[in-house]
């Protein structure tokens, strides 16, 4: 079905305004009407200069189809660009050294050849030498970035459609600026119309059709974000404890023999003067253990394994943290906008009822 929108009304008294993303709302209404009347729709349309046949998956005209492909398709990142994006992602996790960087590469299903200093991405046939990448992605550059000697802005494949976010609606009725400035009031109404459209799209994309469901998901988003934050802080705290405990266990294992001899000497002053440093270190370690109320000292291997587990959990939480925070912010903002729109509707209905009574 073809929809035509004129820029002005027939009587020329009104002008059609097209806020950002309002075309998507119109498209969804059009698709629903087509489905109800048994007409075809374009599945997952993309902005393109290509031929219509390409949208619906036809190849009736191969020559024209190929030309449209050259014009309309967004270029996929090359293998080298994908590798550089992966390097940025791994370096964001702040590996301690190049060897740890290689381990993280291998965890990402990549293969590294030490003799040729080359990498093969998952699903690719050939290897890519690090020295053949851009200047910020060679082996020397990666080492400098790990040590903090080189600063690079990570490459990002920008999706402008997904990056657009909506804002809170302006309370025009209680805005002093809107009351004193007709120009600002007109701008605020258009701004609110855009934000309302984007809020509606966000709710539709997340299949939120009821106010109760919106409240539930908003609370769930807050709980999920707070849980991730708590887990990250708990992992950080415990990892610091483990590092400190390992240090004291190492000191204790080196000095406990000297302290045992000191006890055998019945705390001889001459012996103490000779081994004062080791004896005091052992006392400090024992006091630390007593403070933790440890009945039995854990082994170094046990602590290392716990540290690795915590580090993996922390990394997993961090990978979800930004997404969870953004979703929480968006859904709380959407709830606030919906509540403001509902209050505005109730006020308007109240005004109409008062006019009818008069």
Domains of the chain, by residue range, sit at: 79-156, 213-336
Coil, helix or strand for 30? helix
Alpha-carbon distance of 216 to 238, in angstroms, equals 33
Q: What is the separation, in whole angstroms, between the first and last Cα of the chain? A: 46
Which ranges constitute the DSSP H helices of the chain?
22-36, 52-55, 62-72, 79-92, 98-107, 139-147, 160-163, 176-180, 182-205, 211-264, 269-274, 276-292, 300-357
Q: What is the band of 223 on the pLDDT scale with cuts at 50, 70, 90?
A: very high
Sheet holding 111-113, edge to edge: 111-113, 118-120, 128-129
Per-residue pLDDT tens digits for 89-141: 898 888 889 999 998 888 888 999 988 899 999 878 889 999 899 888 999 99
Alpha-carbon distance of 114 to 132, in angstroms, equals 15
Which of these ranges, 32-41, 82-91, 109-118, 156-165, has the smallest mean pLDDT? 156-165
Alpha-carbon distance of 261 to 339, in angstroms, equals 75
Q: How far is C-alpha 296 from the chain's CA centre? A: 41
Per-residue pLDDT tens digits for 40-79: 556 556 555 555 444 444 444 443 333 333 334 445 678 8
Alpha-carbon distance of 181 to 212, in angstroms, equals 37
Rg from Cα positions in the chain: 32
To the question of pTM greater than 0.95 for the whole model, the response is: no
């Amino acid at each position: 079905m073809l929809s035509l929108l004129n820029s002005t009304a027939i009587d020329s008294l009104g002008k059609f305004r097209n806020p950002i993303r309002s075309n998507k709302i119109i498209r969804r209404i059009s698709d629903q009407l087509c489905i109800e009347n048994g007409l075809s729709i374009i599945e997952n349309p993309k902005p393109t200069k290509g031929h219509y046949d390409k949208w619906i998956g036809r190849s009736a005209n191969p020559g024209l189809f190929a030309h449209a492909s050259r014009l309309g398709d967004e270029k996929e990142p090359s293998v080298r660009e994908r590798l550089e994006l992966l390097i940025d992602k791994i370096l964001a996790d702040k590996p301690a050294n190049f060897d740890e960087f290689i381990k993280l590469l291998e965890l990402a299903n990549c293969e590294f050849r030490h003799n040729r200093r080359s990498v093969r991405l998952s699903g690719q046939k050939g290897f890519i030498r690090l020295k053949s990448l851009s200047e910020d992605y060679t082996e020397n550059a990666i080492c400098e970035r790990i040590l903090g000697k080189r600063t690079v802005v990570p490459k990002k494949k920008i999706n402008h459609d997904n990056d657009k976010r909506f804002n809170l609606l302006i309370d025009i009725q209680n805005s002093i600026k809107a009351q004193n400035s007709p120009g600002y009031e007109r701008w605020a109404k258009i701004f609110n119309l855009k934000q309302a459209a984007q809020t509606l799209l966000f709710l539709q994309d997340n299949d939120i059709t009821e106010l109760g469901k919106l409240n539930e998901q908003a609370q769930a988003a807050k709980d999920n974000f707070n849980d991730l934050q708590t887990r990250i802080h708990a992992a950080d705290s415990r990892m610091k404890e483990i590092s400190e405990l390992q240090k004291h266990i190492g000191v204790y294992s080196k000095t406990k023999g000297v302290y045992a001899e000191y006890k055998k000497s019945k705390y001889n002053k001459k012996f103490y003067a000779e081994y004062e440093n080791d004896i005091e270190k052992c006392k400090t370690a024992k006091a630390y253990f007593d403070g933790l109320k440890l009945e039995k000292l854990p082994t170094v291997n046990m602590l290392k394994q716990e540290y690795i587990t915590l580090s993996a959990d922390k990394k997993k939480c961090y990978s979800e943290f930004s997404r969870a925070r953004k979703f929480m912010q968006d859904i709380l903002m959407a709830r606030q906008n919906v509540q403001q729109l509902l209050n505005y509707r109730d006020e308007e209905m109240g005004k109409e009822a008062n006019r009818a009574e008069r």
